[in-house]
Amino acid sequence: MAEGAPSVVVRGGKVVSGGRARRADVALEGGVVAAVGPDLAVPPGAVVLDAGGCLVSAGLVDIHAHLREPGAEEAETVASACRAAALGGFTAVVAMPNTDPPIDSASVVADVRALAAGAPCEVLVAGAITLGRKGERLAPLRELAMLGVRLFTDDGTGVQDGGLLLRALEYAQGLGVVLAEHCEDASLSAGGCMHEGAWSSLLGLPGIPAAAEEAMLARDLALVAQTGAPMHFLHLSTAGSVELFAAARARGLPVTAEVTPHHLALSDAAVAGYDPVFKVNPPLRPEADVEALRRAVAAGTLDAIATDHAPHPPEAKDLPFDQAPPGMLGLETALAVSVNALSGYCSAERVLAKMTAAPAAIAGVSVAGRPAASAQGGPVVAGAAAHLCVFDPAASWTVDPASLASRSANTPFARTTLVGRVRHTVFAGTPVVVDAELVC
Ligand code: DOR
């Protein structure tokens, strides 16, 4: 979208970048940031975006989104997900490979990239670790790495076979790519549909113990220690996982981890009404886990906040709780939900860092991995790519599933009033969301 990008001045906001926040305007020209400073002149014909009362940050980066195409276009398409992403302030999303067919070959990588051409955000494609995500044989990691695929995951399931994962780690290390694990020991989670604890007993629903996540995380950390290969951990959800991860970090292991907005905001008590919209994997956990996750974000233990945007159409999702597929929408509500959930734990500026610089670095698209003029995640300085998210922390809005850009409506925040809303999103110099409306 940089070609023909207009002159834009984002006026009157507080620029949040590189751990600093200051009142400044941001001038954009030809797809890059031309200047950041107070009271910038508005060139004739420039588009002025009012950022009064807003935080102006780099565009958000989501390292975990299910775009569903190819194969489940009734749930979401790359186009509809990218519109949802733009409304949520995202200028880059990592597309998970649990599509049909899965992203385990060069041709499917090319297909998804082609579908993303002209979208209002960048789509980075993650590849599967194993062929067909079956956990039996390795996918062609080298071929996909040569195409620029940087993250590999069997998300939706964990790699059950430790020996296979060990080989994948060794291989990935040589290729300079990163494996991202969905930690779930299937022998421990089998048959479960919510967190195993007091609520599952009360509701009579089969449980998934915290140990299903923690056992695989512990195994993987041992393999990282053995190989020295970097690894990213998807959607950590328990206090025990936080503890294991923090200890690994303290030992200097090359590991990163993310948490979702829904695990920061909701507990397993939400399942009390048996509404399948609250079914997700990993499941919502008890308050004590939620508290541990919030503290871990505030303390810097958990690196990134990632949506795990998982659309399911009503005909698939509206089933009895134990039969419904797990997953929740996330892209359009992620920033507001995270800021709300973490209020009292850390600042909105910190939340923004967890949704910009940190995930961009994990995905390999930050300034460390790319020229500044095309990097994601900031910092917002002259010469940087003009990807911006302008967030009004005071705007309150009520989530209406019918008005979301996603093709599906499975948000757990339906009818919830959130404080804080993305006012504008600029992708590659072009405003794609203005005053909370898509303009592309
Ligand atoms: O709840 C989830 N839904 N967790 C996953 O890991 C996969 C996702 C999906 O693809 O629906």
pLDDT tens figures, 364-388: 999 999 999 999 999 999 999 999 9
Q: Is the pTM of this model over 0.95?
A: yes
- pLDDT band, residue 5 (cuts 50/70/90): confident
207 Cβ below 6 A of ligand 1: no
Instruction: Collect all residues with Cβ–Cβ distance below 8 Å to 25 and sequence separation of at least 6.
Output: 9, 10, 11, 12, 13, 35, 36, 37, 38, 39, 40
195 Cβ below 6 A of ligand 1: no
Q: Give the distance (Å) from ligand 1 centre to CA of residue 302.
A: 20
For a pLDDT cut of 70, what percent of the chain falls above it? 99
Number of domain units in the chain: 2
Q: Give the distance (Å) from ligand 1 centre to CA of residue 155.
A: 7
- For residue 303, being part of any structural domain is answered with yes
53-62: pLDDT as tens digits: 999 999 999 9
- pLDDT band, residue 20 (cuts 50/70/90): confident
In a shared domain, residues 158 and 297: yes
280 Cβ below 6 A of ligand 1: yes
Residues with catalytic function = 308
In a shared domain, residues 47 and 179: no
Q: Which domain holds residue 299?
A: 59-374
394-439: pLDDT as tens digits: 999 999 999 999 999 999 999 999 999 999 999 999 999 999 999 9
In a shared domain, residues 297 and 173: yes
- pLDDT band, residue 3 (cuts 50/70/90): low
104-119: pLDDT as tens digits: 999 999 999 999 999 9
Query: Quick check: 19 pLDDT over 90?
Result: no
Straight-line distance from the first to the last Cα atom of the chain, in angstroms, rounded to the nearest whole number: 11
Q: In whole numbers, what is the pLDDT of the chain averaged over residues?
A: 97
- pLDDT band, residue 278 (cuts 50/70/90): very high
* Ligand 1, atom nearest to 328 Cα: 1
- pLDDT band, residue 6 (cuts 50/70/90): confident
Task: Assess whether the previous peptide bond of 276 is cis (omega < 30° from 0).
Answer: no
327 Cβ below 6 A of ligand 1: yes
For residue 416, what is the domain's CATH number? 2.30.40.10
In a shared domain, residues 394 and 281: no
> Which uninterrupted H or E stretch holds 396?
strand 388-398
- For residue 1, being part of any structural domain is answered with no
For residue 135, what is the domain's CATH number? 3.20.20.140
In a shared domain, residues 43 and 99: no
305-330: pLDDT as tens digits: 999 999 999 999 999 999 999 999 99
Q: Give the distance (Å) from ligand 1 centre to CA of residue 100.
A: 14
Query: Quick check: 145 pLDDT over 70?
Result: yes
- For residue 317, being part of any structural domain is answered with yes
In a shared domain, residues 429 and 366: no
For a pLDDT cut of 90, what percent of the chain falls above it? 98
Hey, what are 228's tokens? 């020295």
Query: Quick check: 1 pLDDT over 70?
Result: no
In a shared domain, residues 387 and 262: no
- Sheet with 151-152, side-by-side order of all strands: 151-152, 178-181, 231-233, 255-259, 304-305
- For residue 139, being part of any structural domain is answered with yes
- Supply the pLDDT for residue 255: 98
172-207: pLDDT as tens digits: 999 999 999 999 999 999 999 999 999 999 999 999
- For residue 3, being part of any structural domain is answered with no
Is there a contact between 73 and 408 (Cβ–Cβ < 8 Å)?
Answer: no
In a shared domain, residues 43 and 73: no
Is there a contact between 194 and 283 (Cβ–Cβ < 8 Å)?
Answer: yes
Mutate to test the pocket of ligand 1, among 308, 312, 328, 410 (most ligand atoms within 8 A of CB): 308
154 Cβ below 6 A of ligand 1: no
- Supply the pLDDT for residue 103: 98
Question: What does DSSP say about strands 178-181 and 417-427: parallel, antiparallel, or unpaired?
Answer: unpaired
- For residue 343, being part of any structural domain is answered with yes
